[in-house]
Structure 1
Amino acid sequence: MIDNTTEKKENSNSKEKVLLVINCLQGGGAERVVLTLGQGFYDLGYEVHILRFKPRVDYELNPKLNYHFIDFKRYKLIPKLERRDKVFAFVVDRYISKNIGQPDMILSNLDRADSILSNSKLPNIFYVIHNTVSLLYKFDNTNAADTLKSKMINIYSKHPCICVSKGAEKDFVESFGNITPTIAIHNPVDRDYIQKLGDVFTPEYQDYIVHVGSFKEAKRHDVLLKAYARTDQSMPLLLLGKGKLKDEIEQLVVELNLEEKVVFLGFQENPFPYIKHAKFKVLTSDWEGFALVIAEALVLGTPVISTDCPSGPSELLPDNNLMPMSDVDAISEKLSLAMKNPEQFFSEFDGSLLPITIAKKYIAFASDSKIKEYS
């Protein structure tokens, strides 16, 4: 007689493990990428673990993955950030070794996790660079920027880096030099899941434009509204998201007399029905890492126009769909063209972005990095 419980345990122990580390699972693009990439590894037969340092969760969690939480808040009492991160890294290492074992790959996401794991003693760590760092951190010639760059070089030189777009990789190398092995691997997009969520309900709005993104500086809602105000506003503009600049943007809507045309819908755990039923989606960012919302719109067959910021959009859209950054006149003109004929901005989804395919690229890079490390 076969002991199925023992066999299952042995099979689990024999599985390769991947650990994805991120500060929290709030409603952001990087957080959604972590969950989607985790699914890709699971589909390849990996045992997938996700570790966070804040309790907040805005997304539905896939029960096939394993979730861990270590509260960073209690360690904030330790003076000096560098010492705090070293102490917490020791706690993290001990927790991983005891509760997960040795992962074959540890993927660190966003600066909080990156800083902590730069102090880790565990092997197989890789940083995932989700942003155009020079723009996000406002690198310039000031002493403060030089100090910040020096600290970041100290962090990112310790492990290989996986950048979410070619533009992000180019910017990373130009900002820091060839301090570590890098590669550009696009973010994964779960086509089937997005299409399923897109059918959950039908929005009450019709014939509208949609923008999905946090109210923060990079997204340039101010430019979008000023450009939209110069059109005939024949379609309403739906804004999905939350963020610290929301009050400021709401005031701008009043100043531009757009109260009857602009709709604030807040953060939506499932934004996909709004994207699917939009006539087109617009993005007016000054910087993106990958611009995940563009790929998601393409999955749903929704036309997209976007600013041609340094990384992301130009790798997903044809030139016809792109607009110069911060150019209110050019963006207004493109909005008007899209309102008259949205279908001219339709573009196909690239199947190479599916989670399994992207996870395989991570595995190949990790394997290549290990070969070079030990050769």
Structure 2
Amino acid sequence: MPTATAKQPERIVLVINSLQGAGAERFVLTIGSAFDALGFDVHVVRFDPKVEFALPENLKYHLIDYQGYRWLPKGAIRYRMFARSIDNYILKHIGTPALVLSNLERADSTLRYSRLPNIIHVIHNTLSLYYHIADQPNPAKRTAELQNVYGTHPCVCVSEGVETDFIQSFGNITKVTTVHNPIDQVYIRQLAEAFVPEYKDYLIHVGSFKKAKRHDILIQAYAKTSQRVPLLLAGQGKLEQEIKTLITQLGLEDKVIMLGFCENVFPYLKHAKCKVLTSEREGFALVLAEALALDVPVISTDCQSGPREILGAHQLMPVNDIDAIAAKLEQAMQQPEQFAHPFNTKFLPHNIAKAYLRFANVAIPDVA
């Protein structure tokens, strides 16, 4: 009698521009590992070779170089051609996927033209703010362009605030839901044991130096406190020199420590008195949930989406309010324990992965 062959696991493809960045890139690797643990064959497709993370060995990685398409006019023609190449590559080298998750602007603009089955756009940002729609010369035209991108496939938003903004901005153009970002608490705690920082008794901010993070507001607020503990800034970005200049102007060179890019920031996070976030916009605010996974107290601005779904009201501060932020920083320096908050296990990766599968109508394997 013929020998029965084992059923091949279904394939899931995660598409993103690169693995250099922050929240969305960590999301791809974390959710990918969760899908793998559930029994799927998981592939990460990126368009740029840059990598800033330790890549899980259980995932398979593919590079489809976007640079070769830059000679085409930017817009529909370029994205159509690139989407055709992506489809052909995936079908030839990976196989027909059960699910495709598209992440961030370039992937979304491209896969809007894809013919692959079961594509979902993961909406990582409050799009009206990310694209500054209200400030555009023609807001209606920009809105229509984004409706064409995101109305083609179902969308998953990383917070309820992102979903509310999506519907208010674009209407009921597609099937949409909220699934929060996954937080691998066990892995984060392992990484946090890698070393003990040389600094003790400090506040920490983790995030790229870009306008939305409002490092300038944070530094100005910190300058109004007693500065009884130092402030560490972990990250890099185009506004880094501008913030260094502000630190010098305010005479804070001995109090504000710029760590630069940290391949593993979790030991610094674990040993902080309090994690601070002063963003004017967030999608989910991944680093807040990661801090809670390490039992670190947290304070954050109450921006339009993200923090209020993770933290208690006493941990929130008004956006861009230097005096209010200074007052909360002072409290955090003196009594950080009052800003502790329990980690919610609903953020664990296997729970988040299953939520995606249910939304996509993909069966969860028996091994789960």
Counterpart position of 2:258? 264
Counterpart position of 1:45? 39
Structure 1: which amino acid aligns with 2:171?
G
Q: Tell me the alpha carbon deviations over residues 287-345 of structure 1, each in whole angstroms, 9 at most, x when there is no partner.
A: 10000000000011100000000111000000000000000000000000111100000
Gap runs ≥5 in structure 2: 363-368
Out of 200, 210, 229, which is 1:216 matched to? 210
Counterpart position of 2:120? 126
Q: Tell me the alpha carbon deviations over residues 77-105 of structure 1, each in whole angstroms, 9 at most, x when there is no partner.
A: 11242211111111000000001111100
Matched, 1:74 2:68: yes
Counterpart position of 1:346? 340
Out of 262, 284, 293, which is 1:299 matched to? 293
Question: What is the CA-CA distance between 1:141 and the residue it aligns to?
Answer: 6.2
Structure 2: which amino acid aligns with 1:277?
H
Counterpart position of 1:23? 17
Matched, 1:117 2:117: no
Q: Which one has the bigger helix percentage?
A: 1
CA distance in 1, matches of 2:307, 2:89: 39
Residues 136, 142 of structure 2: 8 Å contact kept:
no
Matched, 1:93 2:81: no
Structural RMSD (CA): 1.5
CA distance in 1, matches of 2:339, 2:49: 40
Residues 223, 328 of structure 1: 8 Å contact kept:
yes
Counterpart position of 2:181? 187
Would you identify which runs of 4 or more consecutive aligned residues in structure 1 move more than 6 Å?
A: none
Structure 2: which amino acid aligns with 1:185?
V
Counterpart position of 1:249? 243
CA distance in 2, matches of 1:63, 1:231: 45
Q: Tell me the alpha carbon deviations over residues 333-374 of structure 1, each in whole angstroms, 9 at most, x when there is no partner.
A: 000011110000000100111111000000000018xxxxxx
User: TM-score, length-normalised on structure 2?
Assistant: 0.96
Counterpart position of 2:162? 168
Residues 190, 354 of structure 1: 8 Å contact kept:
yes
Out of 278, 283, 286, which is 2:280 matched to? 286
Gap runs ≥5 in structure 1: 369-375
CA distance in 2, matches of 1:70, 1:138: 30
Residues 27, 269 of structure 1: 8 Å contact kept:
no
Alignment: residue pair count:
362
CA distance in 2, matches of 1:251, 1:82: 41
Structure 2: which amino acid aligns with 1:48?
V
Residues 214, 241 of structure 1: 8 Å contact kept:
yes
Structure 1: which amino acid aligns with 2:113?
N
Matched, 1:361 2:365: no
Counterpart position of 2:201? 207
